[in-house]
Amino acid sequence: MKEKNILKLCMKPNIFEAGCDEAGRGCLAGPVFAAAVVLPHDFDCKELNDSKQLTEKQRIELRHIIESNAVCYSIALCTPEEIDSLNILWASVSAMHKALLKLTVQPSHIIVDGNRFRPFNEIEHTCVIKGDSKFQSIAAASILAKTYRDEYMQRLDKQFPQYEWVNNKGYPTKKHREAIRFYGITEHHRKSFNLIEQQFEIDFLDK
């Protein structure tokens, strides 16, 4: 039986440390979301893990625990237009910066999931590959970014049900690509992405 992975609370103890992560980098439609979370020094939640390893029900339950116990947290996004302008990597970093800016407590250190980041307000930062499976604050940010983005895409689905965003959340499923080929694209699609597997000219779909 595989032993359960137990995440560390933080990298640097006894300071306010913010964990950052994003959701939606690989999607064809919708914003990229980011979250920043500062957890209390005595926080301990053994159920926390990378959001991709959890069920939707588990993510929602853990979101309530995170929001109820965090010192502070914030959510931010970059729009498809910003993604097309900046590219998805730097749009993701920009969304993290926006989230950090909204925190009510300024952290002394930032830990970021991944290997790329840009300095924020001269605060020391550390990039951690697969950080959402190593540190609770990054895992918490992963869960918040994922759940808030999923809810956003579910709301958009009511306007554009033909793309099935309620199920695929904007990711490149076969049905999503087929809908793009048949109906065209919306203002919520990322025009700099390969939206259909064969690069045909596609028309913009008005609201």
Beta bridge pairs of residue 18: 38, 110
Sign of CA dihedral 61, 19, 102, 34: negative
Q: Are 146 and 26 in contact (CB under 8 A)?
A: no
- The reported pLDDT for the residue numbered 162 is 98
| In the predicted structure, residue 63 carries a pLDDT above the cut 80 | yes
Residue whose tokens read 């995440």? 7
Of 164, 132, 33, which is closest to residue 88 (Cα–Cα)? 33
pTM higher than 0.85, yes or no?
yes
Mean pLDDT over the full length of the chain: 92
Going by pLDDT thresholds of 50, 70 and 90, the confidence category of residue 202 is: very low
- The reported pLDDT for the residue numbered 199 is 44
Phi-psi region of 67 (alpha: psi -120 to 50; beta: other; left: phi over 0): alpha
| In the predicted structure, residue 29 carries a pLDDT above the cut 80 | yes
| 3-state secondary structure at position 55 | coil
How far is Cα 184 from Cα 95, in angstroms, rounded to an integer? 27
| 3-state secondary structure at position 17 | strand
Domain range summary for the chain, segments of one domain joined by + = 17-156
* Type of residue numbered 144: L
Residue whose tokens read 């302008």? 85
Q: Are 132 and 13 in contact (CB under 8 A)?
A: no
| Average pLDDT, integer, range 55-75 | 97
For domain 17-156, say whether CATH 3.30.420.10 is its number. Answer: yes
pLDDT tens for each residue of 16-26: 999 999 999 99
Instruction: Tell me 93's DSSP state.
Output: H
